[in-house]
Structure 1
Amino acid sequence: MIVCGRHARVRQRGRHSVTSRSARRRTPPLAVGGAALLLALTACSSSGASGSAPSSSATAPQEVSGTVTVFAAASLKESFTELGRRFEAAHPGTKVTFSFGGSDTLAASLTSGAPADVFAAASQATMRTVTEAGDGRGAPSVFARNQLEIATPPGNPEHITTLGDLTKPGLKVALCARTVPCGAAAQKALTASGLSLTPVTYEQDVKSALTKVELKEVDASVVYRTDVEAAGGRVDGVPFPESAGAINDYPVVELAHAPNSAGARAFIALVRSAEGRRVLAGAGFLNP
């Protein structure tokens, strides 16, 4: 029997005299003895390695705690608020705080140093404002898509049925500013249709454009389908085929200077999960 380490030395001393007396009667071949020694050394080496500390690459995931600050496009308000509640339930003791607004305004705040963990934009172009400034960590991932729709007061009193109807004389229309993703998409649809439209107001985010319709300050507005659904019976929605050529991708990214990096990664994982997609689909978003 081969014994390793300190105990091997003790037992070798105890057997020395017996081995000496029997050496003349039974001398094993040198090759066999050498092989046995090699096996013994290998066994001792393997035994010592198995007791070593695990490598640093096998570290456990960071525990999620504290506050997670999310900057998100205004059109994500309802779905992200719901995901925030689910996140807090899954990670007791955490808190998700949101800043919703026009994607361009949020991007400008982030590149000016506003502290946040996650940025979810309503267009790839707006996301590039943040990532090209070096304020994103890793590559953004698209988690949803959104399509435009015309919002009118309940009952559609002006009988708007097409995008071209928005150019009728005397019709009051609200659009998002062209620097805002919903405004850029609306302009893209209008240009592709050869239409020219001068709205009575340009709004800084899609919720503000929708509110103008809800308050009946305008006859119509071009917003996202998700915003029409979120408004319930406060507005009617009019789909138009040109919107298929102006669909916006929604990317999300962890921010480079995130105060809560573990929380940022966990929230993004929820957004991109099957559960997150169900919530987004329920709000009217398209799959990426």
Structure 2
Amino acid sequence: MTTRPTHRRTLQPAVGGTALLLALSACSSSDDSASASSSAGASSAGDVKGTVTVFAAASLKESFTELGEEFEAAHPGTKVTFNFGGSDALAASITSGAPADVFAAASPKTMQIVTDAKSAAGEPATFVRNQLEIAVVPGNPEDVATLKDLTKSGLKVALCAKEVPCGAAAQKALDGAGLRLTPVSYEQDVKSALTKVQLKEVDASVVYKTDVQAAAGKVEGVEFPESAGAVNDYPIVLLKDAPNAGAAEAFIALVRSGQGRKVLTEAGFLNP
């Protein structure tokens, strides 16, 4: 009978001590998580300053512009400037010494131009993918329904130049289908190819699904099964001579974050 109360007295401090340790451990874990979360947000707001210069594929214009605005809001005093264009031309500018912090390309092949020149600070990471679609004039007056329809006599078609990722993907799709197509013009980036349709200078163009979506009714999109065999991966990398490496890393972190992926997928991009 006397041991039972003694046992209670010794057990209660032990349980209380364990609870205290668990509480302290949980608190520490919470602090660590908060710290990790802050780091994942790419440094503290005080560490992220100045201008970030991003060279990005033309097809990223709408989604990256939105992410740039979010970045500036999250880091007061920062500014994100963009140079959108054909990935091959952007890569050539970077390797020629153009000052930039970040490069986001529309294909691994164009990214390799930069990595081969040792202009990248690390290993590029694929952050999204993109698939082709045929853009036609609203109402589709020429009744384009398949990739083969683009070869019809008298149909005016614009394509991206073959050295541009969207052009290389279009050529891959055409080759896979055993089709030959001579366009009325080759454009230096996907937005230029899309504009040809918007201005009704051509009847159709092969662009990305994201570009058709961004055009918001100014063109119509026609899906074609061959596009599944010509999907482009989009890599992003911090550049070796980045003038503002810290802020550049923060921007890349945003692009690759859950919020960044949300913006990109809502624009029509595919997860990597």
TM-aligned CA deviation for residue 278 of structure 1: 0.2
SS in 2 for 1:196: coil
1:68 — aligned with what? Answer: 52
2: CA distance between counterparts of 1:86 and 1:182?
28
Secondary structure at 1:233 match in 2? coil
- In the alignment, the residues of structure 2 paired with residue 80 and residue 256 of structure 1 have an alpha-carbon distance, to the nearest angstrom, of 21
Q: Among 116, 134, 146, which residue is 1:150 paired with? A: 134
Q: Which residue of 1 aligns with 2:242?
A: 258
- Per the alignment, residue 35 of structure 2 pairs with none
Is 1:212 the counterpart of 2:196? The answer is yes
Q: Find the aligned partners of 1:129 and 1:214 in 2 and give their Cα distance.
A: 32
Q: How many residues align?
A: 229
Q: Hey, what does 1:163 align to over in structure 2?
A: 147
| Distance in 2 separating the partners of 1:119 and 1:237 | 28
> 2:149 corresponds to which letter in structure 1?
D
TM-superposed CA distance for 1:165, in Å, is 0.1
What is the match of residue 227 of structure 2? Answer: 243
CA–CA distance in structure 1, aligned partners of residues 60 and 141 of structure 2: 28
Between the aligned partners of 2:122 and 2:171, the Cα distance in structure 1 is 31
Alignment of 1:1-288 (within 5 A): 61=43, 63-288=47-272
Following superposition, the deviation at residue 175 of structure 1 comes to 0.0
Q: Residues 121-146 of structure 1: CA distance to partner in whole angstroms, max 9, x if unpaired? A: 00000000001100001100000000
Which amino acid is the alignment partner of residue 241 of structure 2? H
Identity of aligned residues (%): 75
Per-residue Cα deviation, 1:41-90 (whole angstroms, up to 9, x for no partner): xxxxxxxxxxxxxxxxxxx9570100000000000000000000000000
Gaps of 5+ in 2: 1-38
Q: How far has the Cα of 1:277 moved from its partner? A: 0.2
Query: What letter matches 1:184 in structure 2?
Result: A
Alignment TM-score, normalising by the size of structure 2: 0.83
Q: Deviations over 1:12-51 (max 9, x none)?
A: xxxxxxxxxxxxxxxxxxxxxxxxxxxxxxxxxxxxxxxx
Q: Output the CA distance in 2 between the equivalents of 1:146 and 1:93.
A: 33
1:119, distance to aligned residue in structure 2 (A) = 0.2
Question: 1:196-227: per-residue Cα shift (whole Å, max 9, x none)?
Answer: 00000000000000000000000000000000
AA paired with 1:237?
A: G
Which ranges in structure 1 are unaligned for 5 or more consecutive residues?
Answer: 1-59
CA shift, 1:265, in A, is 0.3
The one-letter code matched in structure 2 to 1:149 is E
| Aligned counterpart, 2:15 | none
**CA distances 1:154-207 after superposition (whole Å, capped 9, x unpaired):** 000000000000000010000000000000000000000000000000000000
Computed over aligned residues only, the root mean square deviation of the Cα atoms, in angstroms, reads 0.8
Q: Which runs of 4+ in 1 moved over 2 A?
A: none
1:64 counterpart SS class: coil
SS of 2:76's equivalent in the other structure is: coil
Larger mean Cα displacement after TM superposition, 153-162 or 61-70? 61-70
1:283 Cα deviation after fit: 0.3
Distance in 2, matches of 1:157 and 1:215, equals 15
- The code of the aligned residue for 1:145 comes to R
Match for 2:188: what amino acid? Q
SS of equivalent to 1:71 = strand
CA deviation after TM superposition for structure 1 residue 107, in Å? 0.3
